[in-house]
Structure formats: structure tokens, C-alpha cells
Amino acid sequence: GEGGPGTPRAGSIRYGLWTLSDQTEVVIEDSWFYGSKDDLYRPVGGKLHIVRNTFELMGEDGGDIINVKGGTVGNIAYNVVIGAATNAFKPSDDGESTIQSNIGIFNNTVINSGHRRAGLNRGSNINFENGARGFAYNNILVNNKNGIRVLDDADIANISYDYTLYYADNQQFLDQIPPEDSASEIQPNDILGETPGDNDPMFVNYDVTQFTLEEYLAGENQPVHMNRMTNNGTTYDLRLAAGSPAIGAGTTDFILVPVEWNFLSGDRGPSAVVPSADLGAYPTAGGGNRHN
């Protein structure tokens, strides 16, 4: 926010969750969130494990789903995002903690995000900045305002990202992969076409061409069903159909960000999670997001 990482924007608290200690431990699994006003979760330090959740219509004209600040470590995996106002996941190292933010982001599906944040230089799906480190692998990113955004002030030497499927049905979105205001680059194993409409991820039930550019750019006046998982009573299905270019296109050759849990264990502790070579939140062998 405008007052710094530990203060709410514009002087009024609008976050869904807000933690302020390096000793915090937060596990969020198999949950469904709809309609936050600003950031859904702003961790200022601590440990996090955010796995197999669904996030719809997060933020009005701004706000990130997970807006990480300094001193935070953990992993974000197998989540579905549809309609984040600014970023889906934004690791930064803002603040005074002596612990460097380190976030692993893998096997997520992010759709229609970044468009409600005005301006060309804000709004993405995954955004590393201000001293943060981490990685992003095996993600499916569809019709977002920008590609993965790594800023010059991030810990670029300790950030890796690859095995991303990008789909854009408008040239304006395609032109911002990678974002022009970033240090991001297309990686060797990314799936990215040269023309709008290339590399349809082939979801079981979701038409990636159903919205117009004008609807994406309508800000808070976007069609409501653009940013939620149901349309006219039918629930979208973001599983991968046979023949999808996302099947088997990822990697499992990486180690999750290590987290030593001191307080959360047993039924309250994080479930075991491993990467899948199928991109996105729904690997064909199961083990990913459990929501329809």
C-alpha cells in the first residue's frame, strides 16, 4: 500500500488476510475465495503454503491475490485464479526483515488477470520485485494483461522461471509477453505462439475466445461471469482435454522452497505437494486442484 508494506492502502484496511510477523505460519488449502476489495492476503514475513485453492474476482480496481512482503518464504501451487485485479502472486522483499522473501510458484492456472489495474506497467499474473527470490514453473497463463514480470530490482540472479504456457487471443496481450517494463525474458521451454490464438490450452469446458478486447479493458465494468467459475449456471472445467499442449510439457526437476514448520503439524500442517509435468492446476493423473 501507499504507506508501506505493513500499512493498508489509503489509510483503511481492505485486505482479506494480513499477517505481520516473521513467526507467522499460514496454510491455506482446498479453499474457495470470491470478491475481495484489495489484496486477498498480504503476508509481511512468515511461512506460507497456499495449495489447491480457487480465487475469483479478487480486487476491485487494484490489489493482488497474494501480495508477499519481506521475510516471507513458502510455496504456491495448484491454484486456479480467474479475474485478479492486478497480480495473482507478487513476491517482493519490501520491509525491514532480515529474512529474504523466497517463494516457489508452480502448477497454477491464471486467467483474465491484471486488466482492472489501470496503466500499462502494472498488472500481471506472477510478479517478482524489490529483492525477492524464488521460481515459477509449470504455470498456464491465459489472456492476462502481461506475461510473467520480473523487475530489475528483484534478486534476478536467484529467480528462475520456465515451462509456462502462454495463451493470448488479442495482440495487445501478446505484445506484453514479456512485459516491456520488466527484465523478463521468454525461456527455452515456454510455450508461446507468434499470433493471437496460438496454443489453446484445451480446457475441458472453458472457451478462451469468449470475451472481446473491449470487455477485458472495461475495468470494473467487466462482465461478471468473466471473473468467476460459472456462466449461466454452468461451471467451467479447467482440466486438460486429450491433446492439450500442456500435457507433459512441464518439469519435475526442481526442489520446493524449503520451509521449517515450528507450530503447524499433524492435521493443521501442510499436506505434501509435488510438482507435475502437466502444466497448470489440474494434472491428468490427479493430485492437483480438487474443485470443479
**Average pLDDT of adjacent 10-residue blocks, the chain of 292 residues:** 52 79 94 90 96 93 90 98 92 94 98 82 84 98 96 97 98 95 96 96 97 93 91 91 99 97 85 97 96 84
> Does residue 160 form part of some domain?
yes
In this prediction, residue 176 carries a pLDDT of 94
| Position 275 in a domain | no
Domain residue limits at 191: 9-268
Q: What is the pLDDT of residue 5?
A: 56
Answer yes or no: is 283 within a domain.
Answer: no
**Other Cβ atoms within 10 Å of 142 Cβ, number:** 26
278 falls within a domain: no
pTM comes to 0.93
Residue 24 in domain? yes
Q: What is the pLDDT of residue 264?
A: 79
Q: How many domains does the chain have?
A: 1
In a domain, 284, yes or no: no
Residue 276 lies in a domain: no
Burial class (CB in 10 A: 0-12, 13-18, 19+), 96: exposed
The pLDDT value recorded for residue 13 is 61
Residue 229, classed as helix, strand or coil, is: coil
What is the model's pLDDT at position 219? Answer: 86
pLDDT for 4 equals: 56
Residues in Cβ contact with 214 at an 8 Å cutoff, skipping those fewer than 6 apart: none
Residue for grid cell 470475451? 211
Number of Cβ atoms within 10 Å of the Cβ of 98? 7
Question: Does the residue 175 lie in any domain?
Answer: yes
Helices (H), the chain: 171-174, 213-216
